[in-house]
Chain A
Amino acid sequence: NAGVTQTPKFRVLKTGQSMTLLCAQDMNHEYMYWYRQDPGMGLRLIHYSVGEGTTAKGEVPDGYNVSRLKKQNFLLGLESAAPSQTSVYFCASSFGGGSYNEQFFGPGTRLTVL
C-alpha cells in the first residue's frame, strides 16, 4: 500500500497563476483533509471532506477550492495564487471522525508563489 500520496512535491508559481494539488489514498478512508504549514507553526486546516462528494471549510479556506469526486482522491485548487499562499501543503486521510480520526499524512508539497 502506498498510503497517502501527493503530487507534485514542489512547485513555483507566479502571482495570479492557478494550480491543482492532487492527493490520493489507498486505505479506503472516508475522511480527507488539506492543511498548510508555515515556518515554525503547526498545521492549519484549509478544507476537509467526510466522504465522496462532500467538502467543508476549515480554519483558513479563503483562496482555495477543493473537490472530492472519487473517494480515493482529494484535489486542492488555487485559482489565483498569492505570495501569502507560499507554504508547505499536507494532505491527510482518516477512517472517520472522533476516536477514529487518526490521520495518515502525505509527504507534503512545497509551494512558492513569487
Chain B
Amino acid sequence: SQQGEEDPQALSIQEGENATMNCSYKTSINNLQWYRQNSGRGLVHLILIRSNEREKHSGRLRVTLDTSKKSSSLLITASRAADTASYFCVIEDSNYQLIWGAGTKLIIKP
C-alpha cells in the first residue's frame, strides 16, 4: 500500500506539553501535507512541505521531511485544548495521486 501511516494511532498529553506525530510512506512523493480534523472546524489544512524541503514552520507547528527514510514528523509545541483533534498526513505521489493516512488522534488534557 502507498498509504501514509501515522504513528502513534492515539496520543494523550497534558496541556502545555509538546506533541509529536510521525508519518511513514512507501513511494516517491512530490509533497506531503498535514491536515487537522475536529468536530468544531472540520478538516483544515495545516502545512505543505515539498519533497526538496527538509523542514517548515508555521506558528506552533514544525514539520520535518526525510525522503531517504520516507518519513515526516509533525511537532506541535505548547499544546492547547483546542489542539485536540485527529491529524492526517497526505502524500502526493509521483503520479499526482493524493493518499491519506489513517490519522493520529491527539487528546490534550487540561
Contact = CB atoms under 8 A, between A and B. Distances in A.
Contacts of B100: 35, 42-45
Contact of B88 (A33, A42, A106): A42
B102 A90 contact: no
Nearest to B4: A42
Interface in B35-70: 35, 42-45, 48, 50
Contact of B50 (A35, A40, A99): A99
Interface of B: 3-4, 30-31, 33, 35, 42-45, 48, 50, 88, 92, 96-103
Interface of A: 33, 35, 40-45, 58-59, 90, 92, 97-99, 101-108
Given A43-B100, A98-B96, 16 more contacts: A42-B102, A42-B103, A43-B43, A45-B97, A45-B99, A58-B97, A92-B43, A97-B92, A98-B30, A98-B92, A99-B50, A103-B45, A105-B43, A106-B42, A107-B42, A108-B42
22 contacts: A33-B98, A41-B102, A42-B4, A42-B100, A42-B102, A43-B100, A45-B97, A45-B99, A58-B97, A59-B97, A97-B92, A97-B96, A98-B31, A98-B92, A99-B31, A99-B48, A99-B50, A101-B33, A101-B92, A101-B98, A102-B45, A103-B35
